[in-house]
Chains A and B, each alone.
Chain A
């Protein structure tokens, strides 16, 4: 058996504005279990970056520990990458972002990585507004360590061996909303038609964007009694809306009756068109989003779609008032103004 993906590609495969095909955004062949939802998310990230014409070398992908956190090896082989320690992706990413604000930052994590060991890191990344897309590949278990319940596992859901989870779950979407994230949504690995545009819009958002993506673990959490299985998520998926991203260059031609579509213009001028499916809260209204989520969740439904966005949000750099030039490009003279200036500053503080 070969584990190498043949380099031959479909001759009809389209190229993007940079002349790359989708396959140029791939990484190494995955070593995850066959059928793992995480692999589908990787494919969605590849598709989104291809469609956005992102130069792969302008993107940095960072992760923690877990099957989900392994996935950056399997996409964007030509991008920067850092596989950090368990639950510590947010702080490493924050540092990287501070040093070079010009890259596009993608943080990839798991429910264990973010909701268990890394919960503190997670909430602070949200409240600081680090300009990034934070994706949690949520399967309700610690996949890599053989399927223990994670902190997002629903109360009452059953493990593969039949054990019942006694604890209440942490809902990362609610938490992100509460912590001040400025782009919040949820997707499902088994619905790329919704997931790819969500990732595209989130990558274009300026500020912190959070996506909770349900991603069934075929090996440890895809059985009857699980609330994170392919079947369960499909049956309980309450689609709030289906986004569609239009680059600002293109004229917007509405292909459905006016009024039906909600349009959001992002910071960079690109437009997200939202096709509402179930529910009608205003996506600019954080409280309404939280209410909608709480109501549907109480009914046992899993709300997916773009739930909240603040297109005018700022980010960590705005709050810190850093210079426009990335810090890693400042020279010694710019970084160290000299003894005289230091003396002046010190004098002012006396």
Chain B
């Protein structure tokens, strides 16, 4: 078998499951160690460089890192990565701001327009302003933040956190044109910008078209429109009995908001089963915790009304059927329909993109779903001057995806303005350094904690439900944060192998608590994997295969459940195994991980 190439950064990067899964590739274990060490400013800065909004994301991120976390394969639950990020933001000192890059006194003469002030655009601004670009941000709203401000309810994300992290970017020297709805892309292009970035999100909420919709319209609200009118203070009440249609995160925000605005009897009704709901498990958990039932396998059939006022919703009962390809369809069960009485309905069944303000002759292609033609690597559209990112580019996702795409778009805009090819993507910054300090000493804490996941303390529900602007989660205190941080396995401290040093004594195989290691005769890839000390459970997890040892056999490591405990290196008499810290930071615009000029 061909030896594994650990020289390419991808090999060790994949082993750091959380960082690999993070769209922005935030160096998670590094910041968790800094939190454990009480170095909150440093932990914040690592996050800020990578994901721009640590305080916001530490409360709201969709956290693709957590399902990927190795800890979840070793015991029941992953490390509370997201909520640890919040700890860095909550406990940082006032000085951290002084460490941010600033706009240079002398500009580079290039002007870039950003349309929409959501996380995608703000990321582009943060990356380009320190390079000397004159950046102009447009938004129809009076303040920046995009859906982080208009959609995410204040009980999950307080104003102060949002204002601080949006302000940090705008204060770098961004020209804002807030309260300015852009009604023509051509008009913006005509202002002579060197490049335009479209970060206008996916602003159109889907509706249900069933009998009674028009007649009962006064009490049927599109979820995202209703949430933004709550956020901006235009709506302050809702009826006593509320039905929320839909099973995604928007539905969860709708029902929890309704509970705080007078809704006493609030229920979520979903077409699918509970497990297949789009909402994240923790969002469902939060809704249930606030006494909101979730009814499944019910499809809305009609709105009932009397004298022009909504009285309820009729649902058809369905069941899930799967065909031989595993595709699901919802089949009516034939049972009698269900009528649920209510005063208001919130429709939260999805969002679409809409670009009524982009002229069809502006050089931008659109597909039949109304999505623009955008290169998935460079984020350039079919008009070379126009770039897209965030929900506007490929449909609704989440904040961290918008940030990651913003970084990539900024790289492209910089390259475009400097006349270099967009396809030359700057490689990440990578270091790999031995952590050996002495015979039995490592520069990291390799004692594997047996603790189960710690819960974030919550405000008392009775208090939390009284005010839509009161934050529910209290966050980890320093002590809980330390304990949770101990659960991190330090997957970035990698096992690096030198076949020439190995004397095949088996010490590493014998000590490994999780049987990751095997010394085996050479063989074909598939065949070799059948001879591992413990069967390979997850084919998607990397396998390391060394070059030939002295006897011609190979050292094989299944990375799957390696605890990064370092015992193999500890027991190796020759240092053939070593624990080496892998640090990877993505490059941003300007080529450097964080160029200040």
Contact = CB atoms under 8 A, between A and B. Distances in A.
A6 B514 CA distance: 9
Contact of A218 (B505, B515, B535): B505
Given A8-B75, A8-B563, A37-B505, A42 B510 contact: yes
Contact of A190 (B448, B506, B516, B565): B506
Interface in A10-38: 10-13, 23, 29-30, 33-37
A13 B504 CA distance: 23
A1 B446 contact: yes
Given A2-B565, A11-B73, A12-B534, A190 B510 contact: no
B448 A6 contact: yes
Contacts of A43: 506, 509-510
B507 A40 contact: yes
B441 A218 contact: no
A23 B516 CA distance: 14
B507 A39 contact: yes
Given A13-B534, A34-B570, A35-B571, A2 B447 contact: yes
A178 B503 CA distance: 35
B504 A7 contact: no
Contact of A35 (B75, B534, B550, B572): B572
Contacts, number: 99
Interface string B566-580: 110011111000000
A37 B440 CA distance: 19
B563 A34 contact: no
A68 to B, nearest CB: 15
Contact of B507 (A6, A7, A36): A36
Contacts of B516: 10
A113 to B, nearest CB: 22
Given A2-B446, A34-B572, A10 B534 contact: yes
Contacts of A189: 505-506
A300 to B, nearest CB: 20
A183 B73 CA distance: 45
Interface string B526-542: 00000000111100000
B541 to A, nearest CB: 12
A216 interface: yes
B561 to A, nearest CB: 6
Nearest to A29: B511
A37 B566 CA distance: 20
A35 B571 CA distance: 6
A195 to B, nearest CB: 10
Interface in B399-451: 440-442, 446-448, 450
Nearest to A40: B506
B548 to A, nearest CB: 15
A11 B561 contact: yes
Interface string B65-77: 0000000011100
Contacts of A12: 534-537
B74 A216 contact: no
Contact of B565 (A6, A30, A36): A6
A222 B565 CA distance: 27
A4 B447 contact: yes
B257 to A, nearest CB: 41
A86 to B, nearest CB: 26
A33 B509 CA distance: 15
B551 interface: yes
A35 B514 contact: no
A14 to B, nearest CB: 8
A12 B52 CA distance: 40
Nearest to B573: A35
Given A2-B447, A5-B513, A6-B513, A230 B504 contact: yes
Interface in B477-510: 503-507, 509-510
For B509, B510, B514, the residue with the greatest tally of chain A CB atoms inside 10 Å of its CB is B510
Contacts of A2: 446-448, 565
A128 interface: no
Nearest to B569: A34
For A11, A39, A42, the residue with the greatest tally of chain B CB atoms inside 10 Å of its CB is A11
A34 B439 CA distance: 10
A42 to B, nearest CB: 7
A329 interface: no
Contacts of B507: 34-36, 39-40
A4 B563 CA distance: 13
A234 B552 CA distance: 12
For B446, B450, B514, B536, the residue with the greatest tally of chain A CB atoms inside 10 Å of its CB is B514
Given A2-B447, A12-B534, A35-B573, A230 B513 contact: no
A1 B448 CA distance: 11
A317 interface: no
A11 B510 contact: no
B448 A8 contact: yes
A9 interface: yes
Contacts of B447: 2, 4
A5 B571 CA distance: 12
Contacts of B573: 33-35, 218
Contacts of B450: 6-8
A267 interface: no
Given A8-B75, A10-B534, A11-B537, A39 B442 contact: no
A192 B518 CA distance: 12
Contacts of A23: 513
22 contacts: A1-B442, A1-B566, A4-B447, A5-B511, A5-B565, A6-B513, A8-B74, A8-B563, A11-B73, A12-B534, A33-B573, A34-B572, A35-B505, A35-B571, A36-B507, A40-B507, A189-B505, A189-B506, A218-B573, A230-B505, A234-B550, A234-B551
Interface of B: 73-75, 440-442, 446-448, 450, 503-507, 509-511, 513-516, 534-537, 550-551, 561, 563, 565-567, 570-574
Instruction: List the 4 shortest-distance A-B pairs measured between CB atoms, nearest first.
Output: A35-B573, A6-B448, A43-B510, A2-B447
